[in-house]
């Protein structure tokens, strides 16, 4: 059974903290994605990566960075957390060379910044 695993379901962090959200996939997928989801706004792409050490900005990269040191792991970093980064964060992965196949999502991390 394929799996995308996010390290935490719920996180509470203080304003100004550096926050790491971890995502691991076991499907040997090249593409990995980080989204945030807010009520009424759907899923918005923050960053994606199509290979180790490669990254591309999505629609809302400001305030975030990412790291892809290994193929199976894609980390989202909030350098200095702010209250407007309180959200549900979703990681996904997808095979690169089979563009007609689907993306697989993790269960999400609900981050609250206080």
Residue 91 beta carbon to other proteins: minimum distance, rounded to whole angstroms:
8
Closest residue by Cα to residue 108 from 49, 33, 27, 48: 33
Torsion from C-alpha of 51, 30, 79, 109, nearest 10 degrees: 180
Q: Give the total residue count for the chain.
A: 114
42 scored as a contact of other proteins (CB under 8 A):
yes
Residue 12 beta carbon to other proteins: minimum distance, rounded to whole angstroms:
17
* Distance separating alpha carbons of residues 94 and 41, to the nearest angstrom: 23
Cβ closer to other proteins: 103 or 114? 103
94 scored as a contact of other proteins (CB under 8 A):
yes
Query: Which one of 4, 19, 76, 113 is in contact with other proteins (CB under 8 A)?
Result: 4
Cβ closer to other proteins: 15 or 96? 96
């Amino acid at each position: 059974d394929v799996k995308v695993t996010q390290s935490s379901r719920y996180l509470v962090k203080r304003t100004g903290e550096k926050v790491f959200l971890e995502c691991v996939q076991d499907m040997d997928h090249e593409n990995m994605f980080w989204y945030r989801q807010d009520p009424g706004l759907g899923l918005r792409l923050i960053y994606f990566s199509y290979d180790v050490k490669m990254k591309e900005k999505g629609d809302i990269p400001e305030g975030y960075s990412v790291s892809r040191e290994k193929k199976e792991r894609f980390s989202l970093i909030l350098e200095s957390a702010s209250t407007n980064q309180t959200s549900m964060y979703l990681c996904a992965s997808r095979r690169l060379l089979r563009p007609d196949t689907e993306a697989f999502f993790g269960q999400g991390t609900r981050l609250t910044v206080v």
